Amino acid sequence: MAREFQRGHKAKISDLTPGTDLYVGVQIAAPGLTFDISCFGLDADEKLSDDRYFIFFNQPKSPEESIQLLGAQSGDTESFRVTLDRIPAGIHKLSFTATLDGAGQMSQVGPGYIRIVAGGEEVVRYAFTGSEFTTERAVMLGDFYLKDVWRFAAVGQGFDGGLDALLRNFGGEVAEEEEAPAAPQAAPGFAPPAQAAAPPAFGAPPAPQAPQPAPSFGAPPASAPAPQQPMHAAPTIAAPLTPQAPPAPAPYGQPGHQPPQPQFGQVPGQGAPPTPPYGQPAPAPYGQPAPYGQPAPFGQQPPGGPQGVPQGAPAAGAGLHAALQLYKETPTGQRWTPQNKQLMRVDLTMGGAGVLARQGSMVMYQGKVDFGYKSAGFVGRAVGNATGQEMQLMRCTGRGQVFLAEEGSYLHPIELQGDAICVSAESVLAFDESLQYEVRRVEGHGIPGGALFTMQFQGTGTVIIKTHGTPVVLPVTPTTFADCNAVVAWSAASQVIVSSQVRLRRNAYPGHSGETVNLQFRGAPGNFIVVQPYEV
């Protein structure tokens, strides 16, 4: 079963597969856009010291053929064959990239991936979407890198500039137009898999009779396979092709052969999507979620389809993977990512500072994450006990993703960029450690939490606020009043005045709200308050 990688995940190749003859597939598409998918063979300084190890459409293989460009197949926009034990000692990294050929931005791409297949089975996949990028015109998808042993890293790093800028970043030079060199001696081509839906099974020995169809993508090997020979003991060409001279490498920047791109929104080999049955809504366009408030039909695959299912295969319909696809993790390339209204994910690999979260709010984490107790010190505990604004916090550090939630409360990330906000300690779930926070006094009686104080957060970072239900944000006017038990937060520049209406009974009568304590807010235009449909 393929391992699902997120951005920043790394693993030894030996932990993924014992083989060293690997298939690398890349799938990326966008309407009206064309992509150049390349592989850079870099030295120990991560520079392209030898131009022969820049593998692209005009130079489809390295001198010793340890890296080969195979073209579009098995549902992949582009594919490569990498034989790790044949890579020269001077090459320490293979960086697989995708760049735009022409106008456009990487934010326009639909769901895509880079995957590794060994022995006909997919062993790892890193999926991405255009929402993880903005104005970038190139992206570094994944790396094979040598650190004692060969390893794989899911990179997903956007890069401003096109292929020319990416080439210069790796220390290469963009050649001017020049006369094309003579075509080299023709050599037998690498045979494609017997079935279009199956990636090539490198290292398989030739059968004595006509080659059998390769197993379908992701399928286990046959129950009675033929005796296996040691890896690379036999040639990997299933059937020789008619010798043809490959096209001569054209000067960089000149158009060359490019594999056909699949139509965005359609799976290769399929036509228009089928018409839905009468009385059922049509599925949302590819790459777009269902309308807000309307879940996708039960068992229907969301955009991209379940992981581990090849493109070009018929829809699986109802099933376990299809049903669970609706609740798949949502990566966006941001530090804080809401997974739904009640679950928040923080990626500790992005940003240098740690995260402070309410103790007991962690529901799951991935990667290497350290959790420690955040002590407020003697003075902090004394102030917290005296003001009612004490927070029991834990510090989350390391490299990984932490999922936070508490009692089904709705969670709202608020990003501060040098400004400040006042929040009751009871309504704070987590925040970046880079933020400054302190207890602030409110003149008068009663605020949320039943004290005379609130918490003020200031600086650059994100604070996660929790509410009971969907809150409403109101502008501050001279006549803005709110129940102190329903107010969640307000802008720090607002002036807060307590309006007490203490009565022995809470029964309302004309001219009286029935509440014992109200807060009046005043301030210049631009100030706000956040109120939840619930009383603490």
Those residues with Cβ within 8 angstroms of residue 452's Cβ, 6 or more apart along the chain or in another chain: 387, 441, 442, 444, 445, 446
Q: Return d(Cα 191, Cα 498) in angstroms, integer.
A: 80
Residues 6+ apart with CB under 8 A from 420: 456, 457, 458, 491, 492, 493
pLDDT value of position 21: 93
Q: Which two tokens stand for residue 201?
A: 């099974």
Distance, in Å, from the CA atom of 69 to the CA atom of 59, rounded to the nearest integer, reads: 8
pLDDT at 413: 93
Three-class secondary structure assignment of 370-408: EEEEECCHHHHHHHHHHHCCCCCEEEEEEEEEEEECCCC
Burial level of 265, CB count in 10 A (0-12/13-18/19+)? middle
Structure tokens at 111: 């769901």
Q: Sign (positive/negative) of CA torsion 339, 342, 348, 350?
A: positive
pLDDT in the model for residue 101 = 83
Q: Which helix (H) or strand (E) covers residue 169, if one does?
A: helix 163-169
Strand ranges across the sheet with 54-55: 10-12, 149-159, 138-147, 93-100, 35-42, 54-55
Q: How many CA atoms lie less than 13 Å away from 334 in the CB half-sphere?
A: 15
Where do we find the tokens 């295969």?
313
369 CB neighbour count, 10 Å cutoff: 18
Helix (H) or strand (E) holding 473: strand 472-475
**CA atoms of 20 and 393, how far apart (whole Å):** 46
Cα separation, 74 vs 64, in Å, equals 25
Q: Which of 167, 190, 203, 181 is nearest to 68 (CA)?
A: 190
d(CA 23, CA 366): 27
Phi, psi of 169 (to 5 degrees): -60, -35
Is there a contact between 144 and 91 (Cβ–Cβ < 8 Å)?
no
The strand pairing partners of 438, in sequence order, are 456
Task: Answer yes or no: are the C-beta atoms of 23 and 136 closer than 8 Å.
Answer: no
CA dihedral 279, 285, 286, 291 (to 10 degrees): -80
List beta partners, residue 345: 337, 403
Splitting the chain (536 residues) into consecutive groups of 10 residues, what average pLDDT does each group show? 87 92 93 90 91 92 94 92 94 93 86 92 92 87 94 87 74 55 44 45 47 40 43 40 51 51 47 51 49 45 46 54 79 83 90 87 90 66 52 88 92 90 90 88 52 80 92 86 84 77 41 57 83 83
Place of tokens 């994910």: 345
pLDDT confidence of residue 169: 77
Provide the pLDDT for residue 251. Answer: 52
Per-residue pLDDT, 412: 93
Torsion on CA atoms 107, 112, 115, 119, rounded to nearest 10: -160
Q: Whole-prediction pTM value?
A: 0.41
